[in-house]
Amino acid sequence: MLTPGPQCNTKGLTALGEYLIRRLIDEHMLIEADHMSELARLRVLQIAEEEQYPLVSSHTHTGGHWTDADLNRLYALGGLAAATPDTSPELAAKILELQSHRSERHFFGVPLGTDTGGFSSLPGPRPDAGQSPLRYPFSSYRGDVELGRQRSGDRVYDLNSDGVAHYGLMADLLADMQQQTGDGALRPFFHSAEAYLQMWQRAVSHR
């Protein structure tokens, strides 16, 4: 007979889980903080703060909600949080919201966490794409490459009607974000590789 009340993820981080986290830190491994319960993640954050060790949230808010306070803690440790795919205005808003939690002590960037794995859908067309479409061909962020509609065999894809039908249209999504919202969210996005490398270096050099 089931007891009333919540049943899942009520124990948080077990003793074995805590041992694992501390061993991962000893071995300078990057620790993904999304695939666990929120209660367990709070304990992992506490351990990371004790050790001054960075954590990764590779698809923030997918495995559980990150509060503003938790994101502040993550960035204070020199960690990294990723925005999940969305239509261009919503994606820009996610990146800028994460930027509001940045720590001035560390280089900042926001990657795109595209781990859909068949369980999370990619974004469809913007509701107003008919009135304000992505204009093809479009230029890359640096402006040195021009891209047209993506073609696979005889099929030609258009973000305005197909949305992000597959990963090949991520470039279209970023171009649409630039056309719709400007460069504000793209700057931290294109800083994300360097931010990741610096976070990794903090893990490698941890004593």
How high is the pLDDT of residue 146? 96
CA distances from 41 to 14, 120, 192 (A): 11, 22, 23
Compute the distance between CA of residue 134 and CA of residue 129 in angstroms, rounded to an integer: 7
SS3 category, 146: strand
Residue 104 — pLDDT band, cuts 50, 70, 90? very high
pLDDT tops 90 at residue 124? yes
Compute the distance between CA of residue 52 and CA of residue 43 in angstroms, rounded to an integer: 14
How high is the pLDDT of residue 37? 86
How high is the pLDDT of residue 4? 67
Q: Cβ distance 56 to 79 under 8 Å?
A: yes
pLDDT tops 70 at residue 178? yes
pLDDT tops 70 at residue 1? no
How high is the pLDDT of residue 46? 97
How high is the pLDDT of residue 111? 96
How high is the pLDDT of residue 5? 60
Give the CA-trace dihedral at 152, 153, 154, 160, to 10 degrees. 0
Percent of residues, the chain, with pLDDT higher than 70: 93
Q: What is the DSSP code string of 10-35?
A: -S-S-HHHHHHHHHHHHTT---B-SS
Residue 11 — pLDDT band, cuts 50, 70, 90? confident
pLDDT tops 70 at residue 7? no
Neighbouring C-beta atoms of residue 168, cutoff 10 Å: 12
Percent of residues, the chain, with pLDDT higher than 90: 81
